[in-house]
Structure 1
Amino acid sequence: MSRARVVVLGAGPAGATVALGLQRLGYQVCVVSEWRRFAAVEGVSQRVLDGLRQAGLLRALACAAAPSPRRVAWNGARQLLNQEFLLDRRRFDAALREDLRAAGVELIEARVRQVDSTAHGHRLSIEPGATLLADFLVEARGRQAPLAGRRWRGPETLSLLNHWQEAAGQPASAVESRADGWAWMARLADGRCYWQLTLDAASAELPGKEQLAAYCAERRGQSALARELFGAQALQPVSLYARSSTATLFHEAGGANWLRVGDAAMAVDPLSGNGIFQSLSSALQAPAVINTLLSQPQFGELALRFHQARVEHLFRRFARTGRDFYALEQRWPQQPFWRSRSGWPDSEPLHAGADFSQLRVERAPVLRGALIDEAEVVVTADQPLGIWHLQGLELAPIVRSLQQGQLDQALAALPVEHKRMVQGWLLAQGYKP
């Protein structure tokens, strides 16, 4: 038997980010992961690449192809909307492992058969019969992670991923709405092609498993975008992988000696286009949360509150992003797929308008160096978790001075550039001198 202080389950972007962050803090870390079971490609934004760079995943970052235009056919209109970087997930996953090995993180490529947990630690049974002990466990196996625990689920969603090989050509991607769902498609420069159809799991009228590949080929043949993007091979049945893509949020993302990160904590609707970004967002904060739980357990409840609040905040932001894009499609409002998604998760706006009357100062958990601490933050209509610093300047004392009628004195003590920055921020919040 071997023993690791922290064991991370999963070597995707979330698991790799947590492992590297913990190792920098001096923890003994072991990552246990099996390979992805299917070939896939993802389109990501510049902020995903920025997140990979911040996490130190430079080999994984280098896997991103040059930006390519994304065609969008939605609500009867067609346009070129932004650009996205295409990631071959098998190459990307291999590069994540290279980043871990290069940093000296122990990596075990194996399937976890069973996890037995107590308040004193965790005992993992991994193939082909080995045992691993951990003081702290990080669950980062994405949507495939065991689903024990209470969770909030969005409309049940099914995605059918198809892939095949064509001749090399110009990389491109596209998304289009259909009466019963939507399809995302991409081709890489080496001719690998991907097409994914996303449907409502409850209302989709699908044939049996043996006919699914032919069904998808027929659906591609009905798409003008697919005929433009792909060659004749797209009209034939090809390799297919079916998976759930239901949005999921766990009500409890951590405990005294365990933490969920990435898709294992919350998995968003793929239409939001933020899967890897949200994984990185929750994982970048996790090392400080874990460090607090292990080194300063008296602040453990504060650290868990910090992690849970940010996981839930991200989930709702991404869910509302998807909702608003679904709502733009007006041709089939009574179809079950569109009816259930254009109003979920709620009717709250994605971004709340500025409202100076809602500004208030509260004590809340904050990230201070490599630990979670508590400080006074300024809560706004659009930032319910609160803002601690504005480019290094604490905001709470400024807002308190304003509320006490002493803003001029507080601003007079600041350098000119800070004074202008604070004045601009207050005006953006609806403040009227």
Structure 2
Amino acid sequence: MPEVRSAAEADIVILGAGPAALMLALALRRLGLQPLVIGRPRLQPAVEGLSHRAAQGLRQLGCDTALALAGAPWRRLSSWAGAQVEMNGEFIVERQAFDAALARDARQAGVALQDGRVRQAEHRGPGDWRIHWENAPGVPRMTTARFVVESRGRSAPKWAPDRYAGAPALALTRAFRTQRRGRRSTFTESFADGWAWGTLDADGAATVQLVMQPQRLKAQGGDADAAHAAALARLSATHALLGPLQPAGDIGVRGIQTVWRGACGLEDGLRVGDAAYTCDPLSGHGLFEALSGALATAPTIRTLLQRPALATLARGYHEDRIRQIFLERLRTAAGHYAAETRWAGEPFWRGVHALGHIPLLSPAPQPPAGAAFVSQPVVEDGFIVERRVVRTPEHPRGVRFLGGIELPRLHEALQAGPAEPDLPQLARQLGGAPDAVRQALHWLRAHRLDRTAAA
């Protein structure tokens, strides 16, 4: 069948239709840009946690339809390193319904969506992309684009060799029914061969996901049912919570791997979401990563398209943000795994305990010895610009505002003003309340920056 040139050509094409793609499209619309999203809806059911921060971000993007699915928060239970604790709650969403709701929110915001399978993203030169795809009926289409965002997850073709790829693991997930009723809960439990995460709702529907090495599946002759049952039998806290279980569906098997992709920023393209990096699923940051990435990537794209003189700054901001977050998540996972020492000799735990000693993390970069003013790229009015911030050991990414007061401006005013600051006058000058100025001034003094010349 001959390829049909799409009538809906766009400056920006986002490949993929998951949360990272849809949230980015919504963020771009809020900045006055019109992206075209090409991707297929999620085919496999799954449940996923949604943090309070992620819920706030959805509200900020106007995702009322998706947010309505969250409902009330569930309690979180953890059985790890011999301790059982209850932590702050999280929301639970079913991903097929959640993604569909996000798509409705995107359409309501004016985002153009095409239900299609991308076959190839052909890069013919700067600002010259050819997207070859098939629509839902299977008709070949071709769309030209000035800028492409790769958001097809782990399966997205690489633009360069990976910067880091951890050992592969497997996640085996099964739904169950139980007679237990009560408070909706999520739970985490470690065991000799890996760890488990699951859910229990008030109606007795439960899911149990088991993360382990691929060798555990091989030891069962590739029988996913037997591998899941053998591991489930070792979960004491999970059994105490769920009671006797009846399977309510087939087992889902998927590979998981911690990966940092290379070349996440091109002159006319960016990688976002799982196409840029994937973290250990222990972190539970999936939807928040998609949301925070969208809010940071949208001004990056706007800068690349509308202020090309700042292109190097914008691409550097995008790449550096990915590097910082990926390494931060990697260190967090390494620390959490290190706390579980009961099965240190087992293959799974030997592997994850070695995570903290990989060259990428060891030795960890040391923060500056004290506080200092530095220039770095930041988001301002929907663009990436270079501004002064205060970098401290506690805030290595920098602090620009405190209580609405811009710290560099306050510092400049202090340098030019009298020895004893006039708080009401500073408040008028900085456009803030006197109490906010007082707190910001106290913060600068605590870091010995109130009269220190900045580099």
**TM, length-normalised to structure 1:** 0.89
Q: Does 2:125 correspond to 1:125?
A: no
1:219 to 220, 223, 231: 231
> Aligned runs of 1:265-284 on 2, under 5 Å?
265-284=276-295
- Mark the CA change 1:225 to 1:294 in structure 2 (over 3 Å): closer, same or farther: same
Task: State the alpha-carbon separation in 2 of the partners of residues 83 and 300 from structure 1.
Answer: 41
Cα deviation, 1:43-72, whole Å, max 9, x if unaligned, reads 222111111112222211111132122221
Q: Does 2:191 correspond to 1:178?
A: yes
Cα deviation, 1:110-168, whole Å, max 9, x if unaligned, reads 21111101323211111221112211111122223223423212333322222245679
Task: State the alpha-carbon separation in 2 of the partners of residues 304 and 232 from structure 1.
Answer: 53
Q: Does 2:200 correspond to 1:187?
A: yes
> Aligned runs of 1:222-371 on 2, under 5 Å?
222-230=234-242, 232-234=244-246, 236=247, 238-342=249-353, 343-344=355-356, 346=361, 357-371=369-383
Which residue of the partner structure matches residue 24 of structure 1? Answer: 30
- 2:237 is aligned with what amino acid? L
State the shift of 1:405 in Å: 11
State the shift of 1:175 in Å: 0.6
State the shift of 1:398 in Å: 4.5
State the shift of 1:360 in Å: 1.8
Task: State the alpha-carbon separation in 2 of the partners of residues 428 and 268 from structure 1.
Answer: 36
Task: State the alpha-carbon separation in 2 of the partners of residues 173 and 232 from structure 1.
Answer: 17
* Greater mean alpha carbon deviation, residues 59-68 or residues 423-432: 423-432
Q: Does 2:13 correspond to 1:7?
A: yes
Task: State the alpha-carbon separation in 2 of the partners of residues 261 and 407 from structure 1.
Answer: 48
| Contact 1:278 1:314 survives alignment (8 Å) | no
Aligned with 1:95: secondary structure?
helix
RMSD (Å), alpha carbons: 2.9
| Contact 2:18 2:41 survives alignment (8 Å) | no
State the shift of 1:269 in Å: 0.8
Task: State the alpha-carbon separation in 2 of the partners of residues 284 and 407 from structure 1.
Answer: 40
State the shift of 1:292 in Å: 0.7
- 2:377 is aligned with what amino acid? P
Which residue of the partner structure matches residue 430 of structure 2? Answer: none
Structure 2 portions without partners, runs of 5+:
428-433
Cα deviation, 1:317-351, whole Å, max 9, x if unaligned, reads 2222222211211212233322333443635789x
Aligned with 2:23: secondary structure?
helix
| Contact 2:15 2:151 survives alignment (8 Å) | yes
Aligned with 2:70: secondary structure?
coil
Identity rate of aligned residues, in percent?
Answer: 36
Which residue of the partner structure matches residue 146 of structure 1? Answer: 157
* Greater mean alpha carbon deviation, residues 372-381 or residues 336-345: 336-345
Structure 1 portions without partners, runs of 5+:
none
Task: State the alpha-carbon separation in 2 of the partners of residues 334 and 168 from structure 1.
Answer: 35
- Mark the CA change 1:99 to 1:411 in structure 2 (over 3 Å): closer, same or farther: same
Task: State the alpha-carbon separation in 2 of the partners of residues 20 and 155 from structure 1.
Answer: 34
Task: State the alpha-carbon separation in 2 of the partners of residues 286 and 228 from structure 1.
Answer: 44
Task: State the alpha-carbon separation in 1 of the partners of residues 43 and 243 from structure 2.
Answer: 26
State the shift of 1:414 in Å: 2.4
Aligned with 2:17: secondary structure?
coil
Aligned with 1:239: secondary structure?
coil
Which residue of the partner structure matches residue 417 of structure 1? Answer: 435
- Mark the CA change 1:260 to 1:428 in structure 2 (over 3 Å): closer, same or farther: farther
- Mark the CA change 1:292 to 1:199 in structure 2 (over 3 Å): closer, same or farther: same
Which residue of the partner structure matches residue 114 of structure 1? Answer: 120
Cα deviation, 1:53-101, whole Å, max 9, x if unaligned, reads 1222221111113212222111122222222211111111111111112
- Mark the CA change 1:252 to 1:148 in structure 2 (over 3 Å): closer, same or farther: closer
Task: State the alpha-carbon separation in 1 of the partners of residues 410 and 10 from structure 2.
Answer: 46
- 1:62 is aligned with what amino acid? A
Task: State the alpha-carbon separation in 1 of the partners of residues 152 and 179 from structure 2.
Answer: 34
- 1:195 is aligned with what amino acid? V
Aligned with 1:64: secondary structure?
coil
Task: State the alpha-carbon separation in 2 of the partners of residues 274 and 84 from structure 1.
Answer: 11
Cα deviation, 1:294-320, whole Å, max 9, x if unaligned, reads 111111111111111112222222222
Task: State the alpha-carbon separation in 1 of the partners of residues 205 and 121 from structure 2.
Answer: 37
| Contact 1:101 1:107 survives alignment (8 Å) | yes
- Mark the CA change 1:372 to 1:405 in structure 2 (over 3 Å): closer, same or farther: closer
Task: State the alpha-carbon separation in 2 of the partners of residues 208 and 427 from structure 1.
Answer: 65
- 2:210 is aligned with what amino acid? L
Q: Does 2:399 correspond to 1:387?
A: yes
Q: How many residues align structurally?
A: 427
State the shift of 1:254 in Å: 1.3
Aligned with 2:251: secondary structure?
strand
The runs of 4+ residues in structure 1 deviating greater than 6 Å are: 404-407, 430-433
Task: State the alpha-carbon separation in 2 of the partners of residues 55 and 23 from structure 1.
Answer: 10
- Mark the CA change 1:188 to 1:367 in structure 2 (over 3 Å): closer, same or farther: same
| Contact 1:378 1:399 survives alignment (8 Å) | no
State the shift of 1:432 in Å: 11
**TM, length-normalised to structure 2:** 0.85
| Contact 2:337 2:352 survives alignment (8 Å) | yes
Cα deviation, 1:257-302, whole Å, max 9, x if unaligned, reads 1111122212111111211111211111111111111111111111
- 2:95 is aligned with what amino acid? R
| Contact 1:272 1:319 survives alignment (8 Å) | no
